[in-house]
Amino acid sequence: MKISTYIIFLSIIFSICKSQNEITNFIYGESQNLINDTEILIEGYMSPIGKWFGTGLNAGWYNTSRPHQFPGFDITAGFHVITPDNDLFFNPYSKLQSISYDYSQEIPTILGPDQTVQMFYNEEELFNSPPGLDWNGPMLMPFLQVSVGLIKKTELLFRYAPRINLRRLNAGFWGIGFKHDVKQWLPVVKPLPFDLSFLSSYSNLKSSFDFENEGQQLKFNVKSFSSNLIISKKLLFLTTYMGIGYQYSKSNFALNGRYTIYDWDGNDLNEGSAYEVSDPFNFSFGGVSGLKATLGARIKLLLFTIHVDWTKAQYDVFTIGFGLNSDIGSKLIGGGIEKSITK
């Protein structure tokens, strides 16, 4: 169910790209200035989606700062509720070199209102910008995570969603994280009654959409990285935690295949002409970048956990997760391994 929700929202990304005619609105001409302008327009239009995925991939990696000891583990499933930061419009007029428009208007992003803006080239109508989805609420992103304890209070974390095909949409992601108790190396804070750890994570999301014409494909990929310093305190079955960190993501947009552009001769507008281009775009642009702070709480009853947290960042995130958490045998097995290593 969680994976299907993820796919449904991925489908939204490509809802404007159901035919060659709509795509070619964005790929007029082989002139370098026009290509640069088109990349600027695509980046502005798709930017909220890149930030959405970057935020979701970087969120929810922890619900305590205490790492498992081998063979301790946990399996956690949940979802993020991500609130866009009013990214409904963009205005790139100062960056465009060849394409122009009425600069008093703002161009809708993919989350913006269902309206278009007329684009011009040499004072002639070129195309209409694609409309937004008129998105008025938060965005969801599910996750499934497995964590395994190692030695020296170190833990490995894994996220994975197998590539799933839904009609012509193909998508999946994976991630890996590393958590380590730093308190053990700080004599001044080692006796204090809380846990302190460092966590770093990397995620990679890949998605593609095949158009009706054979060989035409849109790819949208996101890579993300985060590092966090986490502090937590456990009282009976309740663990409260907070963290501060840095996150970064980068998106890549690629349009592959051969496309025919009508009324364009490769250099200028020319009614009745047709021009063919191959693999017209493959470029990267930024997503989220900056500090983030998280505050949350976890309840553990026997082997089961539930946690909620809130992250303040460029896009705010509310996370809820449910897990199976076990440290059975950790002190005996993991402790024995630790002693044998330190001898």
pLDDT of residue 122: 74
| 175 to 159, 229, 285: CA distances (angstroms) | 5, 19, 20
Mean pLDDT value across residues 299-306: 96
pLDDT digits (tens, 9 = 90+) for 151-172: 999 999 999 887 777 777 788 8
Q: CA 303 to CA 324: how far, in whole Å?
A: 6
Check pLDDT > 80 for residue 265.
no
Check pLDDT > 60 for residue 192.
yes
pLDDT of residue 277: 77
**Pick from 321, 295, 319, 311: nearest CA to 146:** 321
Mean pLDDT value across residues 186-198: 95
Lowest mean pLDDT across 173-177, 205-209, 315-319: 205-209
Q: CA 307 to CA 10: how far, in whole Å?
A: 26
Q: What is the mean pLDDT of the chain?
A: 84
pLDDT of residue 343: 58
pLDDT of residue 15: 40
Give the pLDDT band of residue 312 (cuts 50, 70, 90): very high
**Pick from 61, 7, 68: nearest CA to 330:** 68
Mean pLDDT value across residues 213-223: 89
Check pLDDT > 70 for residue 20.
no
| Helices and strands, counts by H and E, the chain | 4, 17
pLDDT of residue 334: 62
pLDDT of residue 338: 66
- Eight-state DSSP code of residue 68: P
Give the pLDDT band of residue 244 (cuts 50, 70, 90): very high
Q: Domain limits at 116?
A: 2-342
Q: CA 313 to CA 295: how far, in whole Å?
A: 12
Give the pLDDT band of residue 11 (cuts 50, 70, 90): very low
What is the count of structural domains for the chain?
A: 1
Which residue bears the tokens 């979701």?
56
195 HSE (CA, 13 A, CB side):
24
Give the pLDDT band of residue 17 (cuts 50, 70, 90): very low
Mean pLDDT value across residues 83-89: 85
Cβ proximity of 36 and 92 under 8 Å: no
Lowest mean pLDDT across 7-16, 41-50, 69-78, 259-268: 7-16
pLDDT of residue 30: 46
Lowest mean pLDDT across 38-47, 122-131, 286-295, 310-319: 122-131
Check pLDDT > 90 for residue 85.
no
171 HSE (CA, 13 A, CB side):
24
Check pLDDT > 80 for residue 337.
no
Most confident among 12-26, 71-85, 130-144 (mean pLDDT): 71-85
